[in-house]
Structure 1
């Protein structure tokens, strides 16, 4: 994540522009690693978030809040005592290090005016928030660092504050672009981006790669392979970077992958990913951070929830697959039952020849054209007639088992297809609401035990809706129950129904609304249908389409299960509807 020194410089300017002179109204600490400082600014009330979480350290304005504990932590109470009523007077950054200083004009317990400084260190797992008095002595810190945690730098009350140990890198503001480039070119055995990362302060890997890409057309250019023109271009790109950092000319940009998931953020548009990433610009850096972490945390929560659901469905699939294998083996065994009826017939025809108590009997097999002798085992404790009846009963049982097994196997195969479709839906779920709807479906189908007591059912997610280039509406189900609703109730008989051929996926409907459907609309709808299927990452995916009137749902079939006729098949490469 690219919250580097240059990005933090833009954040500092944003805070300075909005909040200089702002009064601290309240301080809250909802958890161990986060602080919310409520400020009354000329633009109204603002909430400043300071996070020292290892996975999401940052400082920015936020529109979100968090539930506070009944009893505030000690550091929170100290912050309230020291800062409430104080006014933010200065915001500055140490060179391009990821350290931000927030100075406040405050009043001490004696009524004397004093200065307090809040130091925010954005350094991964070493991130911290430290309160200093006007002499630079530590009053307290969000995370106290003693000798058991570090022997290089202590962060404890009564100690003088020291900056984090220097990494020996150069600042963009201390040298010319030519001199900085020369330092980088000295790392001949490294790639250009890695060399810049090791030499220059305050730049993240994505920025180093982008500078290399803009100068040379590649993100992994080796310095030893660079020509004079490449080096001149590189110096020019560093000059642009220095100007952008010095004047805070950057723009807040989030990077999304082809599936729409955010994977990075930075202070400039990025070209190195080509068409595999989409850049989204925001109004402010705070808004960017808010949205990025909100989406990322939501994705993480979804990952955990979907992992549990996937495991549950996978277990059901495994059990059902084993059960089907056993049933198919039993069916094959039951097919070999004709000899039981023959044994019964032969015994019945030879009752007069069989001695009571015999363990076997040899009889001529009149079902064999050669009348070969056939030895039949007997139960000596039973009469010959009872032995014959036993073979008839065994035959009847095998025949009944054949019929029942075929019914059970057919149902089991349908259930297996259903579970595989649910597994696919979980993998493609886009929100926690999608996962909740799938969970409710599994409860309704008996795969998950319902929780005791009355539970408020989650709100059903809306059916996906898109438009083709020529204005036709396309509807896509999010889960099997929604697929049934879309196909069997919402769609009109003259609408077109789409589904990937023999591949789990969503029901997709092209609304005709009495218009003649174009080939382009059919192609785009098929691409959307393929995108919302298990074959999303494939190419030349077969997609069937037919009129809704030719689609029906067998009685008693699982959710999402339909049969259809009169279909046509097209082969398409899946396409995200957001890009159509």
Structure 2
């Protein structure tokens, strides 16, 4: 993990510099894996987050203020009792272990000063926050580790606190660069040098080990570490890392992929990625971790929410498709309704020839030009007249069913098209708020049942806004509800409206108030409409455009569905940026 021992050394310095001597004013436990301590200093109050979450363990300053439970958990109550108004007197790190000790001077029940240590162990799924007394005895912890969890290292109240078993790695703070490189040489068996680096040096992450290799050898190493030139290059890179660790001179860098996705961080400015990633320098290590984990957690929550909505839409699509297929099969059966009427007429005309109790009768079909005989099945329990009336009744039922089935199929097809449009919205959603808006729309349409009073409606998002090369404002709807709002309420009747032709997508408005719009702006707006549609991966997309006054919403139509006239069509390439942003 990127939060390695050297990174933690920088965090320790940051906490020492800004909070040492401060006193605890509040302790909260927002969930089972996190504790937040508010510490008042001369410069103001700072919050320290201690997290033992498996996927985001950390100890650092934080600006977040998560909602706390109405009843504090037992460990939170214990901490308040032991550390209330406690003074932070030291921040320690054993060598370059991923462990930080926060030492507090507190007062016990008898009024005596005591030392209480809070140990934050940052070890992936084994992360923990442990409270230790001045004798080194465990008071309690976020996660209790008994024999059923580990037979090597128990973490239980009353036991003596012990550090995790040491690894066979060298401490870069106390070892010479040449000695470290000799160990790297021993561990190297070909291929990537970074594997040997991480196997040899205590407290470094994969991103740092790869950076050491890159700074020593560039993109690819194919030589031998026994060659003096290569060995010296490695020594120089390790020496740079050693100096950074000793002087705590690193800086907080966050690595961002396309789409503003934070995917890693480091105390070094990584050179290994070249121009493939954006490297952003943060104001502090606490801000870095807040940014990284909030971005990543948001992405994970989006993934879960998106998956749930996708599953719902797939289920609705399957249900509607089955319903349509069944109704089409029933409609096909109605196509034989005229045959039922003819049989009724033939029976009615031949009542005198039919014996009561007969199973069938063969008569001439006077509807057939050749008067061919036809055999008609009968219900022997019914009279000939009632049999004729039965065929007439079945004919009327089939005729009525045909009328309603056509309406049902048309309605189901419209609903299926709407669900397809929502699925397209879901594919294009880029934030949790957009997903919340989609969920709200589905709830309002009756596809999701929300518990009454449980969920607060999400705040509405504004439409996406662009500026054309000619200075015109262009607005793009994010979802069906916003498309309706944008086109039917917000836009002026003389503004220009654009939408992909016969393809699901966003409504696009050029604010023009009837002005003649330059061709360049029309093409740019059409390119945005193509991008914010189901056809965004196509090379050429047809986009219709017309004045807003020619766009209407049929009564009872689903959100986002409109009809329009007096339109023209452009064929454009989808683009996510226009005007100055495109450069």
Q: TM-score, normalised by structure 2?
A: 0.85
Match status 1:48 vs 2:38: no
The change in CA–CA distance for 1:140 and 1:554 in structure 2 (over 3 A counts) is closer
CA contact (8 A) 2:223 2:230 kept: no
Within 2, Cα distance between the matches of 1:154 and 1:380?
87
Cα deviation digits, residues 323-365 of structure 1 (max 9, x gap): 1010111122222333334434544555565555544343444
Match status 1:184 vs 2:184: yes
385-394 or 52-61: which moved more?
A: 385-394
Cα deviation digits, residues 451-479 of structure 1 (max 9, x gap): 44697644333323233455432322233
CA contact (8 A) 1:185 1:223 kept: no
- Match of 1:402, SS state, is helix
The change in CA–CA distance for 1:513 and 1:164 in structure 2 (over 3 A counts) is farther
The change in CA–CA distance for 1:418 and 1:72 in structure 2 (over 3 A counts) is closer
Alignment of 1:70-81 (within 5 A): 72-73=72-73, 75-81=75-81
- Match of 2:316, SS state, is helix
CA contact (8 A) 1:543 1:572 kept: no
1:202 corresponds to which residue? Answer: 203
The change in CA–CA distance for 1:361 and 1:74 in structure 2 (over 3 A counts) is closer
2:286 corresponds to which residue? Answer: 286
- Match of 2:545, SS state, is strand
Cα deviation digits, residues 76-132 of structure 1 (max 9, x gap): 455445444443333332332211233345556666666554332211222223344
- Match of 1:45, SS state, is strand
The change in CA–CA distance for 1:131 and 1:388 in structure 2 (over 3 A counts) is closer
Cα deviation digits, residues 369-395 of structure 1 (max 9, x gap): 544333333445555555445444433
Match status 1:424 vs 2:438: no
Alignment of 1:467-506 (within 5 A): 467-468=467-468, 470-506=470-506
259-268 or 3-12: which moved more?
A: 259-268
Within 2, Cα distance between the matches of 1:72 and 1:388?
80
The change in CA–CA distance for 1:276 and 1:469 in structure 2 (over 3 A counts) is farther
Within 2, Cα distance between the matches of 1:490 and 1:115?
63
Query: What is the alpha-carbon root mean square deviation over aligned residues?
Result: 3.7
Within 1, Cα distance between the matches of 2:170 and 2:501?
59
2:3 corresponds to which residue? Answer: 3
Within 2, Cα distance between the matches of 1:354 and 1:456?
72
The change in CA–CA distance for 1:376 and 1:303 in structure 2 (over 3 A counts) is same
Match status 1:545 vs 2:580: no
Within 2, Cα distance between the matches of 1:510 and 1:17?
53
Gaps of 5+ in 1: none
- Match of 1:90, SS state, is strand
Within 2, Cα distance between the matches of 1:381 and 1:198?
92
Q: CA deviation at 1:413?
A: 0.4
CA contact (8 A) 2:442 2:448 kept: yes
258-267 or 483-492: which moved more?
A: 258-267
Cα deviation digits, residues 464-513 of structure 1 (max 9, x gap): 32334554323222332221111222223443434345444332333335
CA contact (8 A) 1:192 1:212 kept: yes
Within 2, Cα distance between the matches of 1:535 and 1:92?
56
Match status 1:98 vs 2:110: no
**How many pairs does the alignment contain?**
578
CA contact (8 A) 2:362 2:373 kept: yes
1:394 corresponds to which residue? Answer: 394
Within 1, Cα distance between the matches of 2:160 and 2:382?
102
2:64 corresponds to which residue? Answer: 64
Cα deviation digits, residues 156-208 of structure 1 (max 9, x gap): 55655432211212233344545544533442244233332222222222333
Gaps of 5+ in 2: none
The change in CA–CA distance for 1:362 and 1:205 in structure 2 (over 3 A counts) is same
Q: CA deviation at 1:53?
A: 2.2
398-407 or 423-432: which moved more?
A: 423-432
Match status 1:29 vs 2:29: yes
35-44 or 311-320: which moved more?
A: 311-320
1:18 corresponds to which residue? Answer: 18
Within 2, Cα distance between the matches of 1:279 and 1:330?
62
The change in CA–CA distance for 1:29 and 1:364 in structure 2 (over 3 A counts) is closer
Cα deviation digits, residues 528-566 of structure 1 (max 9, x gap): 444444455x34263523123443322221111123453
2:569 corresponds to which residue? Answer: 568
Within 2, Cα distance between the matches of 1:124 and 1:190?
27
2:510 corresponds to which residue? Answer: 510
CA contact (8 A) 2:224 2:230 kept: no
Within 2, Cα distance between the matches of 1:517 and 1:185?
68
The change in CA–CA distance for 1:454 and 1:238 in structure 2 (over 3 A counts) is closer
CA contact (8 A) 1:192 1:223 kept: no
- Match of 1:91, SS state, is strand
Within 2, Cα distance between the matches of 1:177 and 1:571?
59
CA contact (8 A) 1:530 1:575 kept: no
Q: TM-score, normalised by structure 1?
A: 0.85
CA contact (8 A) 1:358 1:379 kept: yes
